[in-house]
Amino acid sequence: MTEVEREVFGQMPQEEGGGVVEKFILKSDSVKVEILSLGCIIAALETKGRDGEFSDVVLGFDTLEGYTRKHPFFGAVVGRVANRIAKGRFTVDGKEYQLFLNNGPNSLHGGARGFDKVLWSPQVLPNGVRFFRLSPDGEEGYPGDLKVWVTYTLSGRELAINYRAQTSKTTPINLTNHAYFNLAGQGSRDIYDHEISIEADSYLPVDNVKIPTGEVAAVQGTSFDLRQPVELGKHLQKFRLDGFDHNFCLQQTQTRRLVARAHHPPTGRAMEVHTTQPGIQFYTGNNLDGSLKGKGAVVYPKHSAFCMETQNWPDAVNKPHFPDTLLRPGEEYNHTTWFVFTIT
């Protein structure tokens, strides 16, 4: 059985439009997750280790203030389009659209005020919570009124996130959750002792501003071959890597499949990622720099967490040979990702 509780988390500042931010607590025997109505943010996720003790394994803040200031999308649902769009520009039906540039020369995670920075309307379910919002035509430069539903459900050890959307005009869409995980417990120094595997035969090489070059490259014989588990710290050292921030290309099928796994041998915590999406952005917190104070007043240094962002491929709207990222009127965008927490 899953218990669902709701409580007030805080009040948005007036300059952000005011409004009450609620927190929804989903509890099973083995997992407890806290989700905010601001940005559908996963603010805490507690799971058991081998010792039977719960630890919070996601980065974030104790108070609303942390989330209303600039932060690297901790736990949030990002959109309308997650990841980068080159030069913030794309063309749909012969019309060019220009987005706000918030990542060097590119648009990242929906723009200046993406889905992570707005209040969503919640509805409590027997085993979870569903959030809804209407993204109006022209918001952040995107075409069409977009209705979006994000549903979190907890069943035993499994947290499912379902994303649905419908639009009045053809628009690119790519939704994901941007949780930062550290299976040793948030506030742990680094993720070097984590074992990571990703079920991908190919990945997308990127240019110096992290835009895919268009090539779909085989992982075989490269540092991107994570098909067998690697110990992250040793792997980064062996290949002299600064970290990962790359899209791994998954088998393209609409059915649920296991795509990635993270394991922390010292605590026994493991997390499987299953999805219906065509890609997963594996990011190792390269831009964390210790300047942010998180939960319990701990700082988050470089490589102190990783993200497994299930999604469409970056800049797909400008790359015809990438999986289609356009949603058309009369169609429904519908994707699900499952995080399964186990002890080994």
Catalytic sites, residue numbers: 178, 309
Rounded Cα distance between 227 and 214, Å, is 22
At residue 254, the pLDDT reads 87
Q: If we measure between CA atoms, which residue out of 80, 42, 40 comes closest to residue 312?
A: 80
Cα–Cα–Cα angle for 231, 228, 273, rounded to 5 degrees: 85
Compute how many other C-beta atoms are within 10 angstroms of the C-beta atom of residue 14: 8
* CATH numbers and ranges of domains, the chain: 3-343 (2.70.98.10)
At residue 224, the pLDDT reads 98
Rounded Cα distance between 43 and 50, Å, is 23
Indicate the length of the chain as a whole number: 344
At residue 90, the pLDDT reads 98
At residue 338, the pLDDT reads 98
Residues 307-323: tens digit of each pLDDT? 999 999 999 999 999 99
Has this prediction a pTM greater than 0.85? yes
At residue 148, the pLDDT reads 98
164 annotated as ligand-binding: no
What are φ and ψ of residue 72, in 5° steps? Answer: -85, 50
Q: Give me the residue label for tokens 């984590």.
A: 194
Rounded Cα distance between 32 and 43, Å, is 11
180 annotated as ligand-binding: yes
Residues 74-117: tens digit of each pLDDT? 999 999 999 999 999 999 999 999 999 999 999 999 999 999 99
178 annotated as ligand-binding: yes
Residues of the chain scoring pLDDT < 70: none
